[in-house]
Chains A and B, each alone.
Chain A
Amino acid sequence: MMGSLGDRRPPTTGTRRWILVLAWGVLAIGLTGWVASCTSSGGAKEAAEPSAVWQAPAGANYVGRAACVECHEEDVKNFDHTLHAKKANPRSPAATHECESCHGPGSKHVDDGGSQGTILKFGDKSKASAATQAAQCLTCHTKTHPDWKQGKHAARDVSCVSCHSVHAAEGPKQLKKPTEAETCATCHKQVNSDLAKQSHHPIREGKIGCSDCHNPHGTPYDKNLRTPTNNETCYKCHTEKRGPFLWEHPVVMENCLNCHNPHGSLHDKLLIVQEPFVCQRCHSISRHPGTVYDATTLAHGVNASTRSMGNACLNCHPQFHGSNHPSGNFFER
């Protein structure tokens, strides 16, 4: 495996090319299937009505905003302060059927004295499923949230109104909680606990939010990340670590999370364990990488070692993220 220098460069293998060709083949088949299905079903427009969308009772008609105000004055008042109420936007609910754009035609609801089954109610107490509630929002918001249906949140019965409220928002983007982090913490309690650790990103200070890295509305990537890999997400702010470098540290190139917990850590620099132990998880080669660094090696110990003080291993190997120095092959500069 470690042949001569001339053999070290890995070939662009036939397997890789084959996989790429296969991937593009799948894409081509998918596109072909789509075109064929559009042709046979009379076009995509006809096919774009999933039955998860709320089906109004037969015979229900639009009654207009005034009828809604009679019972739901406060809700309508709150609605008027939202982007949904901007009539100048021809695609807004206000420019179409106002309240009934989302809740469905309300004549049966009015006639029945406000019974729930005759109109689409949103929220935890709704009889409509999370998918149905989300589908109603997606009739307009597919453009910005195309991956919702394939996302984890949709799969676990989370709907748009689990986080957002048109009528009782307390935070930006119509969030039900004052901040994004509080909204996410409703379910992701363990991450919320991480944010309280001494080493953390400035999320609890409100300087960045969960959505700087994740898109809760779904992405094609793991953990709803906005970019294909953990590293590419980190490089959005830590651009200097992107490289490429002359000397690469493969475990760094592959995944920042091998050493860091981005949500918070008890240890400096979001490390998953302290230095030097984080390095020793992999490095056990002869001499100092495999040496035991116990309490006696700390600054005031009888066996004091520079490898237990300050930045530990990184005192001498500071460029472990990658070095571009001709003598930096041990990440010393």
Chain B
Amino acid sequence: MRTTDRFGLVLAGLLLCGMTGTAWADDKKSEDSLIPGLQTEVQITGQGVMGPNDKAKFEEYREIPQGASADLIWLGFENKDQSYFLDVRVEDASQDDMRIDMKFGSYGKWKLEFGMNRIPHRFERDAKTLFSGAGTDFMHFPDIMQSTLQAAGPTLTDSSSVATTKLRTVARLLSGFQTEAATIDEIGLQRDRYELNLEWQEFDPVTFGIYLKHEERYGGRPIGYGTGFGLALGLVEPIDYGTSEAVARIVYAEDGVRVAAEYGFEYFENRNDSFRFDNPHRLTPHTTTGAYSATTNSGSNIHRVDLWPSNMRHHAGISFGVDLPYETRVNAGFTYAWRLQEDQFLPYTSNTAMNTGAPAVSVVNGVVPFNAWDRANLPVQNGDFDIRTSDFTFGVSNRAIEGVDIRAKYRLYNYDNQSEEIQLPGFAIFDQVWENEEHSNELFQWLTQSASLDVGIKLPMNSRITPGYRLDYMDRDLRETDVTYEHTASLAFDTKPCNFIGAKASYAHSWRQNGRYEYSEPFGGDPNTRPPQLPYLRKYDEADRQQDKVNVQFTLYPMEEVTPTFGYTWKFDNYASEFGLKHDSRHAVNVGVEASPYSTLTCSAYSNWEWSENEAKQRQWNPGGAGDPYVDPIDEFSFSNWIVIDTERINTIGVMAVQNLMKDKLDFEFSGTHSSAGTHLTFDSPLGTTSANDANLRDLVDISDSDDSEWNTAKFTFKWTVRKNLAISFGYMVEDFDHEQGETRDYTPVGVNIFTGNYLNFLGMDVANQDYTAHTAFVSMNWKF
């Protein structure tokens, strides 16, 4: 335990003693509030956290402070005739996860609510990097290292063997530099949200409301960027966002009729329009015809990427609902929204060697038509991007016939893309190659409609059966499939035949079909230009699909004191596509019990077992080479095909118990959870090996222990009720987290692909989840006065 921790504990102890003494001193007084109508509650906790607890995952979304902290400060006040009230609640005061809720108003007339909600999101502590400036909009790589690397790298005139040797030298140099990597204390972001809500009910049946929100997000998050093929860097994306929202609404509600109208505006501002970082392999901007393959020749010394553009949204909506004769309820609503964005574009490249007239070192030869690095010379400065969404809903429920409950719904959602189509003369791949290819943005849009009908029919023995049907229609523009229909038939059964059992069960089967679907044709199929889509592949969100869903729940009430539950769910998706996601299934079984076997003991426990499996099939190929579907025919057993089967499992157990040891004086509480999970990826190909090209001929090896995790928590608390308005709790809490991510997130600065001999440049930051075990001892005092 650190000195500061001890100091915190001592301080907390003193504080608790002092307040306890005060409470004892007040014991002679009445338990009524000192000020009529005023009630307060304060909970102060002193705690010490021990063990390797400084990992980001331990405090991922919260703050566990050392020493004293105010968990809760509550103040409630209402005047004598209960016409006005004030309610202020502060949780985790002054911490990164502080929450404040304040309500002020007059019952039944008006209410003003203020909220402040802070949530941290910590990604990593002690990440390592050679860059400086994490969290800012520019990360700098040491000049001396940069010049050393470039001097050691191959030139365009080097023979293959010389280039390979030099690349390995670069790899060794970069590995050596890693010992000089600096540590980033913390990569994380903070979200602070402020909300104000006014509700005016005095003119009942009309209510007016105004809602205002402002949110700040700041900090950074780990992200990957590339400066060329095979050059991947772990960096920190700077975050500095502000979001403001205002909504006004009016509601009329009386005698089963409700009409509401609303208008809202939201503006998101990103105060960083871009993020720059040094290219470790390049000191001066440069272009080269070998830039595609010579990884150390990547073009620009500083790379610049675009960050999220600021955007805004307006929406206006109206809804109504009414109770009609014959026990009919009709609801309808319409919302229209505008999403707008017109942020200024960045230059096409940060490489100043891409000047007007410079040769375009690209697949399509030509010249660079303008200074692609100069913002002032951009052919188009910004876009007028405009998405209009309209949503219409209509629902009817009816119970006119005794025992028959009918619900019908219809919904239309239109995503109308009215954005400007922008013609672009070309683009810069990373920052070393100008592709002289005219192209434009594609204006995807779609429309969905759904209609459903459920009829609940009452059966004997307090049971109900509900058959249902739903039709989903989707019409997409510019995607592989245009029109899709999905039919879903469902059956639900709910019963409570006697006092000691209740059950709910449902089954649904759906068929998704594409109206104009040509299974074997490539999208945009032109073998000469290479199709953007492999034949026999339809993306799984568009492909024909059959889906089954089962859900069963039993609750037993064998006696007043015990309530066991049992549940099972199964979902299976089967996609009709030769490649891509083939099928996906998930099972989950859970059991639970809540019990109060004695008047002094309340306990509950649950366990959940879940396992899932999905299979995806791919084809490894190079144009014109082995596996090219236009050279080698596709069949189920083609050697270029391969599959991956992803199996996952998770077991979760939770236990909770509260035992009263001394009536109205001493309670013992225990809660604990255990969850263990794991993923296994199995690879296979029809011939046992895959040979998309000869260099890759090898055995496939499964990935086991991938994203395996175990998470255990236990908390023991003794709660001593000193007097009716004073309670002191003390206890112990332990959390243990262990995660194995299958090396994919490890810190692996650089290396060489031993199989191919190719230089491999991955300069990560070591942002894998780190294990922790944290022991926390705490004492807290809850005082109501």
Contacts and interface: CB of A to CB of B under 8 A. Distances in A.
B258 interface: yes
A196 B524 contact: no
Nearest to B630: A286
A92 to B, nearest CB: 7
Given A47-B324, A303-B756, A324-B341, A310 B232 contact: yes
B359 interface: no
Given A287-B622, A296-B698, A326-B348, A196 B675 contact: yes
Nearest to A15: B475
A229 B474 CA distance: 14
**Main SS of chain B's interface residues?**
strand
Contacts of B523: 1
Contact of A198 (B243, B270, B414, B739): B739
Interface in A296-333: 296, 298-306, 308-312, 314-316, 318-319, 323-330, 332-333
B366 interface: no
A324 B348 CA distance: 11
Interface in B708-723: 709, 711
A294 to B, nearest CB: 5
**Main SS of chain A's interface residues?**
loop
B224 A315 contact: yes
A86 B324 contact: no
A124 B555 CA distance: 11
A64 interface: no
**Residue from the set B229, B592, B616, B618 with the largest chain A CB neighbour count within 10 Å:** B618
Interface in B89-146: 97, 106-108, 117, 119, 121
Contacts of B293: none
**Residue from the set A37, A51, A268, A333 with the largest chain B CB neighbour count within 10 Å:** A333
Contact of A326 (B378, B442, B678, B704): B378
A220 B429 contact: no
Contacts of B620: 290-292
Interface in A105-151: 124-125, 131, 142-143, 146-147, 149-150
Given A280-B616, A312-B744, A41 B256 contact: no
B557 A302 contact: no
A318 B588 CA distance: 34
Contact of A325 (B305, B614, B690): B305
A12 B119 CA distance: 43
B331 A304 contact: no
Contact of A285 (B341, B475, B533, B737): B533
Nearest to A48: B256
Given A294-B702, A327-B428, A309 B744 contact: yes
B553 A326 contact: no
A193 B622 contact: no
Given A88-B107, A294-B701, A319-B306, A157 B494 contact: yes
A149 B405 CA distance: 10
A260 B504 CA distance: 28
Given A47-B325, A325-B305, A332-B226, A290 B618 contact: yes
Interface stretch (A69-77, A96-104, A249-257): A249-257
A306 B306 contact: no
Interface stretch (B26-34, B159-167, B175-183, B443-451): B443-451
B332 A327 contact: no
A85 B647 CA distance: 54
Closest 5 A-B residue pairs measured CB to CB? A48-B256, A89-B108, A220-B393, A202-B61, A315-B232
Interface of A: 1-2, 5, 8-10, 12, 15-16, 19-20, 23-24, 26-27, 30-31, 33-34, 37-38, 41, 44-45, 47-48, 50-52, 83, 86-92, 124-125, 131, 142-143, 146-147, 149-150, 155-157, 187, 189-190, 192-193, 196-198, 202, 205, 207-208, 220-222, 228-229, 232, 237, 239-248, 250-251, 253-255, 258, 266-268, 273-275, 277, 280-282, 284-287, 290-292, 294-296, 298-306, 308-312, 314-316, 318-319, 323-330, 332-333
12 contacts: A48-B257, A150-B329, A196-B652, A243-B339, A244-B311, A266-B650, A266-B678, A286-B621, A292-B644, A294-B702, A329-B439, A332-B226
